[in-house]
A = this chain, B = another copy of it.
Amino acid sequence: MNDVSVLKFGGTSVKSISRIQHVAEIIANQAGRKCVVVVSAMGDTTDHLYKMAKQCSTHPDKRELDLLLSTGEQVSISLLTLALQSRGIRSKSFTGAQIGILTDNVHSSARIKDINAERIRKALNEFDVVVVAGFQGLSDDGEVTTLGRGGSDTTAVALAVACGAPVCDIYTDVDGVYTADPNSISDAKLLDTISYDEVLEMARNGAQVLHPRSIELAQNYGITVRVRNTFKPEHQGTAIKGEKEVELAHRASGVAVDGNQGCITISGVPAELSASRKITELLLKDGITIDTISQVLDEKSNYKNILISIKYADVDQVSKISEALKDLCAARSVKSETNISRVSLIGVGLANEPKITGDLVANLEDAGIRVTHLSTSEMRISCFVPEHQAARASQLLHRRFIGSETIQFPRQRKEETRKQLSRIG
């Protein structure tokens, strides 16, 4: 089924009947190719359903929640199919369960175990367009599951794998993947191509391009993912593919900014206290993501200091947590610092070049930007700076290391971003 087009349309692309008709037009223009089309729920339907569930139960059961939320996509597949049929296109809609998307039974964040390729093949024999509900599947015990964040993108890539389609088109409300957010970096440019690894590194460092799950799946199976604009269907967008296929002209290829970073410094903790596990549990219970925990022993006093860098959603929560940490660690004092952003320079092999790191810090400090600390990994150098200086920092790094070159990077996808926690600068 090499000649099958796999297309995915997100919530903003189908948020009204007129947009659904527009999507039907895009599909009608696929020039006679067989299509598998994945759609999300209309607009903010999922949020609306979730809100109602919370009004019925403070801690809604995830099995019931999945049955509830899955109706959102069921509505959009039916409506899109009706719009296609009214154009004379032979099409049929399928829920995740109906097309045979089998998942594990972890409600609200299920993972796809298998897709019934035979069922898709049969459907494509009978129909020209097969419309599939994104974000949902069926567990072994016959329950409706949802895939959690990035679910519909994952459904689309998984269907491309099952169909043997080499390309998966993800239609969204931006033109594709940029070197930086064009809203804050004026010379940010749209990329023609980018590698899986680079996009993944961007996504993990605050850029909510595509969810890492869908990119990892595409990478594992060598599916080219094209990010395209629903409202400019004539544009080719950005193709995400293997490194060999992407020309890597520069080491540094993008700048990402992740907001709402914080630091908690716990001072005067008894050296014999083994606190890491307790700290981790305490923070995770409150939904705070830990970036690093560093412990430094002061051998003279036999006390240690613990530095935790975190990602938080709520400033009050951080100060509350700090108090709890003080008790937990029998510490002398705890200091928390919020309103910090992590500005990351992304690129293959970057961290192996000590010169770049030094150059980077010097550049920022020369401009009066305080770098509170630094962390690196194979593909990135991240520096923590005060939030109000983050935009300026990302501009400086973009100009210094990327400039007006043609290699460009992802910008945040507005749709499906529930909390605008981070941006690509």
Tell me the A residues contacting B by CB distance below 8 Å.
17, 20-21, 49, 52-53, 55-58, 60-61, 63-65, 67-68, 70-71, 74-75, 77-83, 85-86, 92-93, 95, 98, 142
Given contacts A64-B78, A68-B78, contact A56 B93 (CB under 8 A): no
| A68 CB → nearest B CB, Å | 4
**Bound complex: CA A78 to CA B146 (Å):** 14
**Bound complex: CA A48 to CA B86 (Å):** 19
| A237 CB → nearest B CB, Å | 26
Question: B79 contacts A61, CB within 8 Å?
Answer: no
**Bound complex: CA A142 to CA B97 (Å):** 11
Contacts of A64 in B (CB 8 A): 78, 81-82, 85, 92-93
Question: A98 contacts B142, CB within 8 Å?
Answer: yes
**Bound complex: CA A326 to CA B128 (Å):** 45
**Bound complex: CA A85 to CA B61 (Å):** 8
Given contacts A20-B56, A82-B64, A86-B56, contact A74 B75 (CB under 8 A): no
Most buried by B among A63, A64, A92, A98: A64
Contacts of A65 in B (CB 8 A): 78, 82
Question: A79 contacts B53, CB within 8 Å?
Answer: yes
Contacts of A95 in B (CB 8 A): 67
**Bound complex: CA A74 to CA B61 (Å):** 15
Contacts of A71 in B (CB 8 A): 71, 74-75
The residue from B67, B92, B98 contacting A78, defined by CB atoms under 8 A apart: B67
Question: B98 contacts A82, CB within 8 Å?
Answer: no
What is the chain B residue whose CB lies nearest that of A87? B57
Contacts of A57 in B (CB 8 A): 82-83, 85-86
Contacts of A78 in B (CB 8 A): 53, 64-65, 67-68
What is the chain B residue whose CB lies nearest that of A51? B17
| A41 CB → nearest B CB, Å | 10
**Bound complex: CA A70 to CA B97 (Å):** 15
What is the chain B residue whose CB lies nearest that of A143? B98
**Bound complex: CA A77 to CA B65 (Å):** 11
Most buried by B among A20, A57, A70: A57
What is the chain B residue whose CB lies nearest that of A74? B71
Question: A55 contacts B17, CB within 8 Å?
Answer: yes
Given contacts A17-B55, A56-B82, A67-B93, contact A49 B61 (CB under 8 A): no
**Bound complex: CA A74 to CA B78 (Å):** 15
Contacts of A75 in B (CB 8 A): 49, 52, 68, 71
The 9 closest A-B pairs by CB, nearest first: A68-B78, A56-B82, A71-B71, A57-B82, A57-B86, A56-B83, A17-B55, A64-B78, A67-B78
Given contacts A56-B79, A57-B85, 6 further A-B pairs with CB under 8 A are: A17-B52, A49-B75, A56-B80, A61-B82, A64-B85, A68-B74
Contacts of A142 in B (CB 8 A): 98
Question: A67 contacts B60, CB within 8 Å?
Answer: no
Contacts of A68 in B (CB 8 A): 74-75, 78-79, 82
Most buried by B among A56, A74, A75, A98: A56
